[in-house]
Amino acid sequence: MSTDCIDDFLIPACTGKAFKLTRGQKLRVIDEQGKQVAGAMFFNAHNFKEQFMAEFSGGLNYFQPPDLGKTGSHYRLGELYSKVPYENLMLTITHNELGDHFLGTHCSGLSMALLGAPGHRSCTDNFAEALGEFGLELEDVYSPSIMNIFSNARIDTEGDGSLLINPPRSIAGDYVEFFANMDLLVAISACPDDVTAMNDHSCKSIRIQIHS
């Protein structure tokens, strides 16, 4: 562990946690045991209306001036931007060796019911509980648009556009590191989906480190 680590904690399986991140700090989201997805939401710490928008960021990573070149894509994000009308750079990814994530929805009560598991815990529950500690309700959040870190889901471009959910390729210790370009409120869900292959049918913890 790097000597500049100033906070280190676990988010237990099937739970969520929200916390503050100061501009200039680095956030590491670590797959503690392997094959576990971490859903991530980001907010401007001084204006919760300014929120990370995943799909929008995927497009902005691609549409860069020719002299800069594209910084990433929907399947390998480089920079995270806030939604319209703000369009500010929120975070920059500084380490992502695996490169697997899915930009879009998280599991919800309805999606779990449609999968044949009504009443099953979902990322919606995790985010609602975590953000509630900061006075936020999901109706105040553009919650469907998140970064599903370590997710090995893809859109089937060869067939009918179905969502293909494969087990994560991440192993214990894999991490994604983010540089905070502004003061942030971060919410992380240790995804509780053990119905599909999203977490290889076994829910596990996520480790968080904050580095100065």
Segments forming the whole domain that contains residue 191: 5-47+62-170+185-202
Instruction: Please state, in angstroms and rounded to a whole number, the distance separating the CA atoms of residues 81 and 170.
Output: 25
Asked if 176 and 151 touch (Cβ cutoff 8 Å), the reply is: no
208 found inside a domain: no
Residue 9, both tokens:
């904690």
**Residue 157 located in a structural domain:** yes
Domain-embedded: residue 12: yes
For residue 37, being part of any structural domain is answered with yes
Residue 175 domain-assigned (yes or no): no
Give a yes or no: residue 161 inside a domain. yes
pLDDT, tens digit (0-9, with 9 covering 90-100), for 51-80:
999 988 988 887 765 555 556 667 678 999
Q: Which two tokens stand for residue 206?
A: 């996520």
For 113-124, what is each residue's pLDDT tens digit?
Answer: 999 999 999 999
Note the Cα 205 to chain centre separation in Å.
Answer: 14
> Residues 6 or more apart from 92 whose CB is under 8 A from it?
78, 79, 80, 178, 179, 181
Burial degree of 171 (CB within 10 A; 0-12, 13-18, 19+) = exposed
Q: What is the pTM of this model?
A: 0.93
Q: Examine residue 179 and state whether it is found in any structural domain, yes or no.
A: no
Report how many domains make up the chain: 1
Q: Is residue 211 part of a domain?
A: no
